[in-house]
Structure 1
Amino acid sequence: MHNFWTACGHQHLTRNARGWMSPTPDYWRLWLQRPEMALVPESCKEEIRLHQALLDNPLMQVAPAQLQAFKDDDARENYELFLRFRSDVESAGSLESAYMAWQHSGNIQLPPLFIDVVVQAIVCNVLADEQDAWVWRAAELLFRRQRITIEGGRVLSGDSDTLDTLQATGGLGEMGRLLMEGGAPLKAVDVKVLHPDNAERYLAQREGLGRYAFLLDMTHELQNQLPHGLILSMVNARSGLKALSVVLGRWVQHFLGVAVSIEPVQKVDDPAWRWHVGLDATATALLNDLYQGTELSTQRQQQLISLFKLRFDNPQDMRADVQGKPVYLGLAMNEQGLLKLKPQNLLLNLPLAREV
């Protein structure tokens, strides 16, 4: 999977003794080529000079006066953010160490884009030997906002930015946008649900609009209407929730060094419910209310995508007061049908016996 998701720069990282990812000079060169940092025709001489110097020596020290000489305020701010980001990662020694430091600080002074690109590169490390398309597609939830739709009883997750772009351009980029603004009819873009018939095509996609144009079926249980009014319920063998459980389990193992098993569940029927973690802001609020016994409105109930049960393989890794008990996880969309998973919640809020 070395050529998968190359835009995040994972191919320019090296593993340290702990198995965490440390940057090489080429990693920083790739950042300098991103749209936020790349030169444009309007770039002033001072920006051009500094950009070339950083390409030659990505770890060079930059004096404040060099940035003050920029004529464009936005360009100056982008460089300040990049240099802060570079300093944080180099000081921490790895992307994982920097990510944990940001989360523990509670005051992240970097744009969400920076954090999402870091998470994407870390996911590539976590899934380095994975060949399952569903696991890779589920992993997108850790760093890409999703739009959830329900069609025919199926819960489908699509990349929000990609769907919005396709809707605005008909899949033809800026030309498509202009044509649509001019009233020209465009052929609808065919967005596919990930399926055994197209799984290889998903894995073969490189960068570009098609990279995130596959929907993930998050339906855990399928129901078939049988004669005489009977309903047959079956677990979806290719549920995106099962694939997401795999990703989250490996995420915890990679960062915290503890083995856990995670499985989707339909409800929490546990009188001894002791611990829960919301995987996003909406789910956190929902689980808190459920734990307190607050009755949820029908609308809020419909926002809940799934519950999960997490168990520690070794109960000794848990705090003594909850040892051996399951941890319940929740995943939910907001009122607009959007889901932004927060993978850091699993790293900061599990009942560990020791600090990590």
Structure 2
Amino acid sequence: MQNFWTSSGYSQLQRTARGWLAPTDDYLRLFLSRPELALLPESCAAEHALHEALLASPSRPVAQTQLQALQDGDARESYSLFLRFRDGLLDAGTLEAYYLNLFRSGSITIPPLFIDLIAQAILRNVLDDAADAYEVRAGEMLFRRQRISTQDGQVLAGDRDVIDMLNETSGLGDFGRFLAEAKAPLRSIDMQVLTDENAHDYWQASNRHSFLLDLTHEVSKDLSHGLVFTMTRARSGLKALARVLEKWVQHLLGVAVSIKPLQKVDDAAWRWHVGLDVEATVLLNDLYEGKPVEPERMQRLLSLFRLDFANPQEMRADVAGKPVYLGLMMNAEGVLRLKPQNLLLNLPLAGSIQ
């Protein structure tokens, strides 16, 4: 068992008898220490008083007059969003219940950042006993955007924010930005692809999100004479992602499923599909309805998956026993924004499960 994602706040949460995570004051204090709520030199006295009061007792009620006393409009909005998030989380009792309730309500009233932080903490719980660095690295895809690179049949996923920061500053922060603006030479960018040889280094570096994940699932080799040998890679990042998604569904819905990467859907009785991101949702809908799809869009499809329920009785009666097809796709800018809530909301569950 390895420790990872120490910045997720997992150690500040309490695990319930159900295995879900109950919020604590220490967990809420992590949000108060974030840049969005941290005090600034120009913060007014009322903001200092509110911030200090919440640090001392993060669950304390806050009157509307206390918010209105803040001189800075951005600060008022930031604290209002935090308090809305905090109150919803405390009312739900666990991070998992809050996450499910939020998306089932159809009204998202908190910033995407808070949603990603909640998802990370839940995934840290889901993967707590994981010993496979590939699986944990794949888990990052559920709460951090990925920039996708495709070349010579290889598909690599890297953390978008880290890659963009390195491209801008070469990893040297404000000093690197200064050198870039001055057109001074910067050191080369070096992000490692996760392999069996360097997997042991992932655990201590997990907070930096600096490893690339190879999503190449199959490798083809031309044997000449028109023969092509296709081999499925044992260490495919897509297989690791599939295992994470299986655990995600089991943890939050209590439903056992198996998920396997596919190269294509060859099913005349295709009945149900779920896009794992906005782009894949639209593409699968178009394919299902027989609409023409531009080659450029198809090339952005990273993978298909087949999901099967272990117990077909947990599915809607009209599709019981049928596979569910999943899609994963980058956008036109080469960015993948996976939406793990799609699996929770759009699987064909029997009414008793929902």
The TM-score range, normalised by the shorter chain, is over 0.9
Counterpart residue number, 2:210: 213
Counterpart residue number, 1:165: 165
Q: Which amino acid aligns with 2:306?
A: K
Whether 1:328 and 2:325 are equivalent positions in the alignment is: yes
CA displacement at 1:6 relative to structure 2: 2.3
Normalising by structure 2, we get a TM-score of 0.97
Residue number among 239, 260, 265 corresponding to 2:236 in the alignment: 239
Q: Which amino acid aligns with 2:298?
A: Q
Counterpart residue number, 2:63: 63
Q: Which amino acid aligns with 2:282?
A: A
Percent identical pairs in the alignment equals 59
Write the deviation string for residues 217-247 of structure 1: whole angstroms up to 9, x where unpaired. Answer: 1111012233445322110111110000001
CA displacement at 1:55 relative to structure 2: 1.1
CA displacement at 1:315 relative to structure 2: 0.9
Counterpart residue number, 2:41: 41
Q: Which amino acid aligns with 1:129?
A: D
SS at match of 1:226: strand
CA displacement at 1:76 relative to structure 2: 1.4
Write the deviation string for residues 85-117 of structure 1: whole angstroms up to 9, x where unpaired. Answer: 000000000111111111011110111000000
Indicate if the aligned counterparts of 1:322 and 1:351 stay in contact, CA closer than 8 A.
yes
Take 1:13 and 1:293, find their aligned partners in 2: how far apart are those partners? 47
Within a 5 Å distance, the mapping from 1:92-107 to structure 2 comes to 92-107=92-107
Q: Which amino acid aligns with 1:81?
A: L
Indicate if the aligned counterparts of 1:2 and 1:11 stay in contact, CA closer than 8 A.
no
SS at match of 1:179: helix
RMSD between superposed Cα atoms in Å = 1.2
Q: Which amino acid aligns with 1:184?
A: A
CA displacement at 1:130 relative to structure 2: 0.4
SS at match of 2:212: strand
CA displacement at 1:37 relative to structure 2: 1.1
Q: Which amino acid aligns with 1:12?
A: Q
Counterpart residue number, 1:16: 16
Take 2:338 and 2:272, find their aligned partners in 1: how far apart are those partners? 19
Within a 5 Å distance, the mapping from 1:1-356 to structure 2 comes to 3-205=3-205, 207=207, 211-228=208-225, 230-354=227-351, 355-356=353-354
CA displacement at 1:176 relative to structure 2: 0.5
Greater than 6 Å deviation, 4+ residue runs: none
Q: Which amino acid aligns with 2:241?
A: L
Take 1:171 and 1:226, find their aligned partners in 2: how far apart are those partners? 43
Take 2:206 and 2:283, find their aligned partners in 1: how far apart are those partners? 37
CA displacement at 1:119 relative to structure 2: 0.3
CA displacement at 1:277 relative to structure 2: 0.5
CA displacement at 1:28 relative to structure 2: 0.8
Q: Which amino acid aligns with 1:257?
A: G
Take 1:225 and 1:193, find their aligned partners in 2: how far apart are those partners? 25
Q: Which moved more, 1:226-235 or 1:214-223?
A: 226-235
Take 1:114 and 1:146, find their aligned partners in 2: how far apart are those partners? 18
Take 1:54 and 1:322, find their aligned partners in 2: how far apart are those partners? 50
Q: Which amino acid aligns with 2:163?
A: L
SS at match of 2:220: strand
Q: Which amino acid aligns with 1:70?
A: L
Indicate if the aligned counterparts of 1:332 and 1:339 stay in contact, CA closer than 8 A.
yes
SS at match of 1:264: strand
SS at match of 1:263: strand
Take 2:186 and 2:51, find their aligned partners in 1: how far apart are those partners? 40
Q: Which amino acid aligns with 1:335?
A: A
Take 2:317 and 2:211, find their aligned partners in 1: how far apart are those partners? 43
In structure 1, the gaps of 5 or more residues are none
CA displacement at 1:136 relative to structure 2: 0.6
The 1:101/1:80 distance shift into structure 2, 3 A limit, reads same
Q: Which amino acid aligns with 2:160?
A: S
Query: What is the count of residue pairs matched by the alignment?
Result: 353
Take 1:269 and 1:139, find their aligned partners in 2: how far apart are those partners? 28
Indicate if the aligned counterparts of 2:277 and 2:328 stay in contact, CA closer than 8 A.
yes
Q: Which amino acid aligns with 1:282?
A: E
